[in-house]
Amino acid sequence: LAKTRIVPAKPESGIPAVLLVRQDTLFVLDQRKLPRSVTYVTCTTASEVAAAITSMAVRGAPAIGLCAALGLAVVAKRSAHMSPDAFVRKMERAAGRIAAARPTAADLGAVVRRILDALHEAPPKTRVDAVVATAEAVKTELEAACARISQEGARLLEGRRRLMTYCNTGSLATGVGHGTALGAIIEAARSGKVEKVWVPETRPYLQGSRLTAFELWCAGIRPTVIPDSAAPSVIAAGEVDAIVVGADRIAANGDVANKIGTYGLAVAASLAGIPFYVAAPLSTFDIGCRDAAQIPIEARSGAELVQEVWGKAWGRRISAYYPAFDVTPGEFVTAIVCEEGVLEPPYPGAIRSVLAARQ
């Protein structure tokens, strides 16, 4: 990826913009470098957008969906000179390339399908505008969804003083707005009654200790970072009043795919008798997946695990297995917060109704 440094590294000035469109170029904040430096990768082609997603420069289910939308808008603008048929073929190829960049987050495929539908429905002369307008609509709707999820989530967390989250679900993970689970925590903390936010580091990319801790810090909240392996025992020790996490895909029966390690937190929460909440926009729900067994789990290269720890030379010789997500059965989920409110078990009916009401 081409790398362009366009904003100086000043984390104390706040959280930098995640996705910026300037004319017909998309600038993607390189989250792998945060919070140490604020650097953007430039994307002008579908391959560059897909590479930004696959390589984790941008991550978080809603943010990669939005990145796909804005990336396709950029590709459309740059292809406006083509004949109508060539334009459609080019956009379909671009959509396929970007949708395949990461498999687990439902938002990515959903957004790409929505852009393609808009493209196919528009008359040839307005196709570029239709793609750009749909990408803008995705952004506006996501921003509103995050605001609502943060408020509803904060209401659920009322009276819970010691919270735990996982991975990163703040504005860095949604691309716009306040984020989902982390948005709810930040909103809840406005009451002044939140005493502690436990943040497991989230190996190997450290979305917890680098990104969530940074976002909490920017919001004036002191995080307490712990090793991932410490989280279940901290819960068991009675140090946590509620857990709230995000999701990458929620199946029709309420099973929730999220960052690897989430399942262990849910089991520990259940044993400790504390609520385990999931916060996610409707774009993360996929009723095409009946249950956990149908959710595709991304297997990332084992090298990403061992290089971090051992350095490249060792990493090449050591075999490692890195499933990037796990699935928490719906039975362990106390409630799911979305932009339409709070869903409670039994999830199959609750999810069906909330999605039907949307159509």
Q: Identify the active-site residue in 30, 107, 241, 248.
A: 248
**Would you say 132 or 154 has its CB closer to ligand MRU?**
154
Instruction: Identify the sign of the CA torsion 156, 144, 38, 278.
Output: positive
**Residue 103 tokens, joined:** 């498999």
Question: Pick from 79, 171, 209, 258: which binds ligand MRU (CB under 6 A)?
Answer: 258
Select the residue whose beta carbon is closest to ligand MRU and give its number.
246
In this structure, which long-range contacts are made by residues 4-9, counting pairs with CB atoms below 8 Å and at least 24 apart in sequence?
A: 4/39, 4/40, 4/41, 4/42, 5/39, 5/40, 6/40, 7/38, 7/39, 7/40, 8/38, 9/36, 9/37, 9/38, 9/39
- Our CB check for ligand MRU shows the closer of 91 and 261 to be 261
Shortest spacing between CB 284 and ligand MRU, in angstroms? 7
Q: Write the binding mask 41 to 80 for ligand MRU: x where contact by CB under 6 A, - elsewhere.
A: ------------------xxxx------------------
In terms of CB distance, is 195 or 308 closer to ligand MRU?
Answer: 308
Shortest CB 259 distance to ligand MRU, Å: 3
- Residue 119 or 245 with smaller CB distance to ligand MRU: 245
Q: Which is nearer to ligand MRU, 174 or 253 (CB)?
A: 174
Using CB under 6 A as the binding criterion, the count of chain residues that bind ligand MRU stands at 17
Instruction: Considering the complex, state which of residue 67 and residue 272 has its C-beta at the smaller distance from ligand MRU.
Output: 67
- Provide the mask over 321-350, with x wherever binding to ligand MRU is found by CB under 6 A and - wherever it is not: ---x--------------------------
* Residue 94 Cβ vs ligand MRU, minimum distance, rounded to whole Å: 21
Instruction: Choose, by CB under 6 A, the member of 65, 246, 264, 330 that binds ligand MRU.
Output: 246
Residues 163-222 that bind ligand MRU (CB under 6 A): 167, 169, 173-174, 180, 207
What is the 3 state secondary structure string of the chain?
A: CCEECCCCCCHHHCCCCCEEEECCEEEEECCCCCCCCCCEEEECCHHHHHHHHHCCCCCCHHHHHHHHHHHHHHHHHHCCCCCHHHHHHHHHHHHHHHHCCCCCCHHHHHHHHHHHHHHHHCCHHHHHHHHHHHHHHHHHHHHHHHHHHHHHHHHHCCCCCEEECCCCCCHHHHCCCCCCHHHHHHHHHCCCCCCEEEEECCCCCCHHHHHHHHHHHHCCCCEEEECHHHHHHHHHCCCCCEEEECCCEEECCCCEEEECCHHHHHHHHHHHCCCEEEECCHHHEECCCCCHHHCCCCEECCHHHHHHHHCHHHHCCCCCCEECEEEECHHHCCEEEECCEEECCCHHHHHHHHHHHHC
Query: Least distance in Å: CB of 24 to ligand MRU?
Result: 26
CB of 59 to ligand MRU, least distance (A): 3
Window 85-144: residues binding ligand MRU (CB under 6 A): 105
CB of residue 61 to ligand MRU, shortest distance in Å: 4
Applying CB under 6 A, among 74, 259, 265, 306 the residue interacting with ligand MRU is 259
Residue 241 known to be catalytic? no
Nearer to ligand MRU, 200 or 315 (CB): 200
- Closest distance between ligand MRU and the C-beta of residue 358, in Å? 19
Active site residue ranges: 248
Contacting residues toward ligand MRU, per CB under 6 A: 59-62, 105, 167, 169, 173-174, 180, 207, 246-248, 258-259, 324
